[in-house]
Structure 1
């Protein structure tokens, strides 16, 4: 869903968590928050999601001028799938989902699996983290694919 020129975009913003360093956003998460900031400042609902990351993300956004009343914390999710499933309890799609470039294909895959209407905004991966994060993501993509197949199989079996 793309808004027209005369129609403001009011879709909720869902910002997915990533690694913290000393209870503060690490480099990849800080890039996600910076990518989200222009959208977060316009008054739309914002969901920060991640078991340990959500409070730190909310505080970062507030320090950067976001209205605290616009922020909803989802602090139970421990995976991409849970980020999306748990965010459904807080706001209905369509959503703008903010994540890292390396993570976007898996986010889109899970959104498709759940029939969620999302557009993904990506933040660049910090150069020094590319080898690790992309390698990890290959394994996570395979794992997520297998989980989706299993879930689909279980759904169609009596």
Structure 2
């Protein structure tokens, strides 16, 4: 799946070169190496190796480019709705581009999203409730 996302990100970058943030604990370095091997200049790759979740990926990427009009996020097709939920909650303007999900992992990942998406929505609702009621 990671390679599918990287292929799509490379296509997006080739069409309109801009800084590429590779984000994720354990993935950022691998993604950077893959992109470098395919001709993306090192100066165009920004590594963010700390994020461990969708919301952290978004928050940390936004912190790197706070003045950007929006972030272009390439994610697996099954993950698009959850990415949008978190971006909305965090008030991060995004353009989400779906990378194809390999056929061999579609069933497992779409099934996972049946639980993960409502879980994320519940977390967002809870955070907003706590903020409104307790001012945090």
TM-score (norm 1): 0.79
1:88 equivalent to 2:62? Answer yes
Give the match's secondary structure for 2:124.
helix
1:146 aligns with 2:119: no
Cα contact 2:62–2:71 (8 A) shared by 1: no
CA RMSD of aligned residues (A): 1.1
Number of aligned positions between the proteins? 131
- State whether structure 2 residue 122 is matched by structure 1 residue 122: no
How far residue 149 of structure 1 moved from its aligned partner, in angstroms, is 1.0
The CA distance in 2 between the partners of 1:142 and 1:52, in whole Å, is 26
The alignment's TM-score, normalised by the length of structure 2, stands at 0.91
1: CA distance, partners of 2:47 / 2:81: 24
Query: What are the superposed Cα offsets for residues 52-96 of structure 1, whole Å, 9 maximum, x if unpaired?
Result: 100000000000100111111111111111110111221134111
Runs of 4+ in 1 over 4 A off after TM superposition: none
Hey, which of these two has a bigger chunk of helix by percent?
2
1:98 and 2:98 matched: no
Q: What stretches of structure 2 of length at least 5 have no aligned partner?
A: none
